[in-house]
Amino acid sequence: MNRLRSFSLVEFSVEHPRWVVFLTVLITLGFLTRFPKVRTDTDPKNMLPPTAEVRVSNDAVERSFGLYEDMIVVGIANKSGILNDGTLGKIKRISDGILRTPGVAARDVAGFTTIDNVTAEGGMLRVGPLMAEAPQGDREMEALRKQLFENPMFVGRIISRDGKTAAIYVPLEKGASGMAVAGKIREIVGREGGPESYYVAGDPVARDTFGAEMFRLMAVFAPLAGLVMFAVRYLMFGDLFLSAALMMDAMIAIIWSMGFLIGLGFPIHIMSSMAPVFLMAIATDSIHIFNEFYFRCKEERDKKAAILKTMKAVGRPVRYTALATTAGFAVLLFMNIIPVKVFGGLVAFGTILLRILSFSFVPAMFTFVKEESILKASQGEEIESSRVSRLLGRLAGLGARRPWAVALTGLALFAAAVVGTTRIAVNNNMVEWFKESSEVRTADRVMNEALGGTSLGYLVAGSDGKEEEFIKTPEALRYVEGLQRALESLPYVGKTTSVVDYVKRINRVLHKDDPAYEKVPDSKELVGQYLFLFSMSAKPSDLDNVVDPSFKKANVWVQLKTWDAKAMRGVIEAARAYQRGNPLPMEIRPAGVAYFNLVWNDMVLWDMIKGFLLAMVVIFAILAVNFRSPKWALVGYVPLLFTVVLIYGAVGFMGKDFDMPISVLSCLSLGMAVDFAIHFINRFRSRLAEGRAAPAIEEAIVWTAARPGKGILRNAVLFAAAFSVMLFAPLTPYVTVGAFIVSMMLLSATLCIVYIPALIVLLRKWLFAAGETPT
């Protein structure tokens, strides 16, 4: 039935080409009107639904400790030290500017001018901003220096140990744009200039800058990829009109599917921003139609007949490759991660559209081509005379004649690749999505070298409420203090802060600033009175951020020097080990951005392993149905499997982390790389079945490689050309995707043409039923 409908669609399109084209253009314009409503969303939080456990628990922690989701860290560095009139004056002015910036939660900005300091001078206890005004004269400067370096809550947090870098922590109000605030801050520091250098870092900066770049890339790289493909096509076919028709095919599918997505109200995530390039590449599958059309034109000399015969010959493989590709993307719909789902659905939808266009719009466009120009162009399409075809024939012949050598070489490569895959490390690091020399990454690196760290995680330690206000007990405080020291021994943990630091500080200050009292006092009552005293003068958020209102839970701030998801895993493991070594009825639970990144990272991995396995099964099923034989499906499967394993082997050997873009690609690659095998085996078998007198396997193999094989090669080259533009993108995930797809296409095309012949020859007894075995 399916066949019947598509055949009538082709005939209808050939009969009424103008109507088909007109209708297509009309619908395209309709979808185009949705485009102005486009929104982007780069917040990793939205990768998971709001009901996800980690989001619910993170929100709860943020609420009970009055924390902010997002924090920008501003660094001010002076090679000769920041403790001088000039630099401190700048810090004061910059801080004032930041406080006035909309989107900044001014009340909780932590820097020299706002952070609360606890001191005792001349018997007078003082809790107030460390530096309300820049110090006047040497004495005040010396006093500031002493206060800064004597207080462990400041060193590594707002000033580096070497005194050359200062930091301002800028929390953002809900919904504020990190990039907009970062831009304003850059303006503010830009006005100061001077020998100091300034850095703006933090998760919201990376995330929102990435979002803006993503948008720009979508606008630059998708058309660029289209242009490259157009040029390559023109070189292949030498006909401007047909090259444009193929290009339109892709553009139409992109506009329909993106318009549909935007129209439904979905925002564009990083994944879906790549969809246009994917669809453009998938559209190259129609090259098989063109390829065959050229050969047929040469043979038939009648355009309409050539079109219909072409569609008859390639219709089946084209439909099945579309099905396999659609399946490869559709498995993503079963994942947990929202943008991945959206992307899968989007590309699957676009692939189906492309195929419908292949059976309607493309044949309709064929009818407009002048016959002479086709004939002229197809002169080169002769197996005997085309150099490419001869080369392909020889390659396939190598596989057919020396099957053992080819098979064993492949196996050796495969084994090496498997070794490589064992070296793959799972990790995700959003800052590393930027290039090494980018402003975002430089700022992050400099700040992490000098200070406690720009990535923030929390560990909430709490008791289940046997004792009222348990956190105020000396045992609980010492427990938390021990936990902090244990965490700080990890190389990537820069600084930890908790209520213990306040208690110790007050204890010391109330004992004539005697360093011997920089410790947790022995009575719960005293701790309670210290904290009360502190709360009488400090900003309310100082305490709120580190203890919950009922004093059942303490929140330990853990500053990490890297955005690696695995760093937070290390923190959690260290906390667990500490718990085992120090039995106290306290529970420790992780939270914060760093924790979210970790959960999300793990989720991506499991999702993708699940998706990969699912895609393997589905694609095998599609192959088996298409070839009507599981044995042939297995033959078609081998080059696919080899391609994927070889690429992951290379990823492992290169030491590239298995991050979100790569893991998503693993799923997709199956659906795309299988196309060539489908074309090859379908055409090979129909060639055999065409019933030439004595069908010789080798002859059929060489023919398949030379004629449809040329289509496969053209397809692979076009596909690779489309993605190669992504290699020049300024963001690494795009580069990764580009490199991955380029190598996958070229590899799977080569494997298909060399390896499938070898397998057919080796397994011919098994593949062909007894009695019909060809020679």
Partner 1 sequence: MTKLAFKTIVAAAALALTAAAPSNAQKADPAGIVRKMHQAFFYQGESFRARVKMTLTDASGSERLRELTMLRVNMPKRGDQRYFMYFHAPGDVRRMAFLVYKYPAKESDRWLFIPALSLVQRIAAKDAQSSFVGSDFSYEDVSGRDVEADEHKLLREEEHGGKPCYVIESVPKGSASYKRELSWIDKAAFLPLKEEYYDVQDQLFKEFTGEEIKEVDGVPTAMKRTMKSVKTGHRTVVEFSEVKYHLGLKAEEFGERALRNPPGSWLK
Of 207-215, 255-263, 522-530, 732-740, the window that binds partner 1 (rule: CB under 8 A) is: 522-530
- List 95, 101, 455, 663, residue binding partner 1 (CB under 8 A): 101
- List 316, 472, 508, 714, residue binding partner 1 (CB under 8 A): 472
Q: Please check whether residue 679 is in contact with residue 708, taking contact to mean a CB–CB distance below 8 angstroms.
A: yes
In which residue are the tokens 């990829």 written? Answer: 225
Q: Does 127 bind partner 1 (CB under 8 A)?
A: yes
Q: Which residues contact 198 (CB under 8 A, 6 or more apart)?
A: 74, 75, 76, 77, 186, 189, 190, 192
- List 81, 549, 585, 730, residue binding partner 1 (CB under 8 A): 549
CB burial of 518-535 (b: ≥16 within 10 Å; e: otherwise) equals bbbbeebebbeebbebbe
Q: How far is 240 from 143, CA to CA, in rounded Å?
A: 78
Nearest distance from C-beta of residue 102 to partner 1, angstroms: 6
- List 543, 586, 677, 752, residue binding partner 1 (CB under 8 A): 543
Cβ closest to partner 1, residue 6 vs residue 541: 541
Nearest distance from C-beta of residue 546 to partner 1, angstroms: 13
Q: What is the DSSP string of 691-725?
A: --SS--HHHHHHHHHHTHHHHHHHHHHHHHHHHHG
- List 523, 585, 689, 766, residue binding partner 1 (CB under 8 A): 523
Q: Does 536 bind partner 1 (CB under 8 A)?
A: yes
**Parallel/antiparallel/unpaired status of strands 553-560 and 493-497:** antiparallel
Cβ closest to partner 1, residue 102 vs residue 195: 102
Q: Does 285 bind partner 1 (CB under 8 A)?
A: no
Cβ closest to partner 1, residue 245 vs residue 527: 527
Cβ closest to partner 1, residue 119 vs residue 448: 119
Phi, psi torsion values for 608, nearest 5 degrees: -75, -35
Nearest distance from C-beta of residue 131 to partner 1, angstroms: 12
Q: Does 99 bind partner 1 (CB under 8 A)?
A: yes
Q: Please check whether residue 77 is in contact with residue 446, taking contact to mean a CB–CB distance below 8 angstroms.
A: yes
Cβ closest to partner 1, residue 99 vs residue 584: 99
Q: How big is the chain, counted in residues?
A: 775
Q: Does 707 bind partner 1 (CB under 8 A)?
A: no
Of 322-330, 395-403, 452-460, 519-527, the window that binds partner 1 (rule: CB under 8 A) is: 519-527
Nearest distance from C-beta of residue 423 to partner 1, angstroms: 46
Nearest distance from C-beta of residue 744 to partner 1, angstroms: 49
Q: How far is 439 from 126, CA to CA, in rounded Å?
A: 40
Nearest distance from C-beta of residue 83 to partner 1, angstroms: 22
Q: Please check whether residue 279 is in contact with residue 250, taking contact to mean a CB–CB distance below 8 angstroms.
A: yes
Nearest distance from C-beta of residue 543 to partner 1, angstroms: 7
Cβ closest to partner 1, residue 542 vs residue 564: 542
- Please count the other Cβ atoms lying within 10 Å of the Cβ belonging to residue 180: 16
By CB under 8 A, what part of segment 630-669 binds partner 1?
Answer: none
Cβ closest to partner 1, residue 65 vs residue 295: 65
Nearest distance from C-beta of residue 124 to partner 1, angstroms: 5
Nearest distance from C-beta of residue 480 to partner 1, angstroms: 18
In which residue are the tokens 């080059």 written? Answer: 639
By CB under 8 A, what part of segment 488-517 binds partner 1?
Answer: 510
Phi, psi torsion values for 169, nearest 5 degrees: -100, 120
Token representation of residue 455: 């990535």
Rounded-to-5 percentages of helix, strand, coil across the chain: 70, 10, 25
Cβ closest to partner 1, residue 95 vs residue 286: 95
Q: How many CA within 13 A on the CB side of residue 683?
A: 33
Closest alpha carbon to 669 in 632, 714, 722, 619: 619
Q: How far is 749 from 533, CA to CA, in rounded Å?
A: 74
Cβ closest to partner 1, residue 521 vs residue 711: 521
By CB under 8 A, what part of segment 129-158 binds partner 1?
Answer: 129, 132
Q: Does 180 bind partner 1 (CB under 8 A)?
A: no
Q: Does 469 bind partner 1 (CB under 8 A)?
A: yes
The SS3 assignment for 197 reads: strand
Of 327-335, 524-532, 743-751, 754-762, the window that binds partner 1 (rule: CB under 8 A) is: 524-532
Q: How far is 168 from 447, CA to CA, in rounded Å?
A: 11
Nearest distance from C-beta of residue 510 to partner 1, angstroms: 7
Q: Which residues contact 372 (CB under 8 A, 6 or more apart)?
A: none
Cβ closest to partner 1, residue 532 vs residue 766: 532
Q: Does 80 bind partner 1 (CB under 8 A)?
A: no
Q: How far is 664 from 329, CA to CA, in rounded Å?
A: 10
- List 436, 464, 525, 772, residue binding partner 1 (CB under 8 A): 525
Nearest distance from C-beta of residue 525 to partner 1, angstroms: 5
- Name residue 135's amino acid: P
Nearest distance from C-beta of residue 469 to partner 1, angstroms: 7
Of 128-136, 358-366, 571-579, 645-653, the window that binds partner 1 (rule: CB under 8 A) is: 128-136
By CB under 8 A, what part of segment 49-78 binds partner 1?
Answer: 60, 63-64, 66
Q: Is 46 exposed, middle or buried (0-12, 13-18, 19+ CB in 10 A)?
A: middle
Q: Please check whether residue 715 is in contact with residue 744, taking contact to mean a CB–CB distance below 8 angstroms.
A: no
Q: Is 573 exposed, middle or buried (0-12, 13-18, 19+ CB in 10 A)?
A: exposed
Task: Report how far apart, in Å, the C-alpha atoms of 367 and of each of 18, 45, 246, 302, 343 are.
Answer: 10, 51, 14, 11, 35
- List 207, 524, 561, 656, residue binding partner 1 (CB under 8 A): 524
E strand or H helix at 3: helix 2-15
Nearest distance from C-beta of residue 267 to partner 1, angstroms: 27
Q: Does 474 bind partner 1 (CB under 8 A)?
A: no
Cβ closest to partner 1, residue 14 vs residue 61: 61
Nearest distance from C-beta of residue 541 to partner 1, angstroms: 8
Q: Does 528 bind partner 1 (CB under 8 A)?
A: yes
- Binding residues for partner 1, how many (CB under 8 A)? 45
Nearest distance from C-beta of residue 617 to partner 1, angstroms: 46
Q: Which residues contact 50 (CB under 8 A, 6 or more apart)?
A: 56
Q: How far is 673 from 211, CA to CA, in rounded Å?
A: 30
Of 76-84, 181-189, 531-539, 675-683, the window that binds partner 1 (rule: CB under 8 A) is: 531-539
Q: How far is 116 from 133, CA to CA, in rounded Å?
A: 14
- List 416, 418, 526, 641, residue binding partner 1 (CB under 8 A): 526
CB burial of 261-280 (b: ≥16 within 10 Å; e: otherwise) equals bbeeebbbbbbbbbbbbbbb
Cβ closest to partner 1, residue 186 vs residue 511: 511
For partner 1, the binding residues (CB under 8 A) are: 60, 63-64, 66, 99-102, 104-107, 123-129, 132, 173, 469, 472, 510, 523-529, 532-533, 535-541, 543-544, 548-550
